[in-house]
Structure 1
């Protein structure tokens, strides 16, 4: 797969031009109950790209509306990508990121798949770091976090199906509470038998808006059946588990395996990968293999599958206790969050918030 090339003069620095900050009292009120994706910090990191100049005009500056020509390619051909990662307040008041190198690498892979310019991983990390440093006051106390949304959109004004020759990169910062507020008792997922998220050879393993837009209809069906999210099956046989609308899915078996569908048409989630890497410490053997809906249904009935959970940056680790489908519903593990799910979540969250040692070097100090 070819990537979009351009001149590479020097690494980007993202110099800061601070704006007038939100008053302390107003910011504190917003941080007290930020919700998810509703509140934004004072600044954004930005850079432009063109085929002639490469990446340029990098800066961290006051957040303002993005001005696009009505013919901008992103509006007509959905040429865009994004990422999601978080900044975590540490016990000593400092701030750290969690495995941002994985987000940077995935961002570059998504760019290649969508024929967008690749932002070098070191520039991605600089943009995120400089924004967090300038807006460190927006990082809330645990359990809330500062959610970071890097993205690149095609901005060239033209009507025609080809890769754009101009693009815009930016990073937003949004203080965030729990993604599934009030759902700590466990999620209910709708198993959709018809609508698919991605097909082999498509963009399923890229983090692009089109994947999420394509899943909105299925999420609406899930809500009609009083479910929190949808569980997508494969696009060919409508039999094999893929991922949820916003999360990877993992299963704990009675014989001590932690099973998750293989990569290919699903997202290579940072949380998914991290959970697989800490599984052995919880007596679990990580296994990536196809899982059929029949195996899920029968395993829940017989107890061969004891726990199911979802994993993602926004959702962290969220227990799944019930599935609904056109033929009815079934529960897993007696309908309660499982002990290994909760233990994995506790270790991961403690790592992110700096409450336990970090022998793997996953935490990256910022401030």
Structure 2
């Protein structure tokens, strides 16, 4: 059955004239075309969806709030992943070879790690923002301003870039395991190996925000549920002047719920990758390349999921998309239009 799926795997190498070249898995034409179509569609969906989010938030003045600006920066991380990482990863996955050199392999891997950590730090900061918005709505406008969001964004990007590039380009990731790296490596591969120390550190940078987000959203949903009951109990005695406040609270809770779905999607998509990396490191890298590639692409898919979540649960995003797609923003000054129906 294996020979029917693969064509002369044992006779093909990534670089025929180079000693130590990796073996190349030569898929049939049908499989190669299908893979390119699927991975290309995922890349285009990632680029298009996140570009739409960034344009919407940048153009419509009503969306210039601290939370939504954090969303724009998160979309920027996903867009950059689709622009700089996914095209090269697609070629590597289909051709089963890396043709772009060792230096660019490290650069490519550093970008991938940077965008991953930038995303989870953004989501962690968003969960803090939502926690204050729901639990202490009177203080929230004073504590979380646009400059504060800008500070959070700067921390997320600077730390992610500095950490990822410093670890990878200094060679700290494989220090002490050079013999194992040499035994596993071949010309035409691009899979960085991390020693136990840096796997633990990198995993903590994922799991600490992971549990922080889970704890904050658990508290958020408990408080939101209590507030919903209080509003329902007082609905018969609510004065007309209080209707606006109730609508704002309802919108905040709905935004929190939508962002919670986005957070859960991120955690679910990235959790298998970090679990696999930890297992691999402590069991001498036993994961088959094909399975590891599937896990990696499962993490990449998260960058295409967020815009879909926004389009499903955010009416303002659907309205903004209609304006942008219909090119009305080129004909009329729509930047000040009301996107909130409530």
Greater Rg over alpha carbons, structure: 2
With the length of structure 1 as denominator, give the TM-score of the two structures: 0.25
More strand by percentage: 1
TM-score (norm 2): 0.26
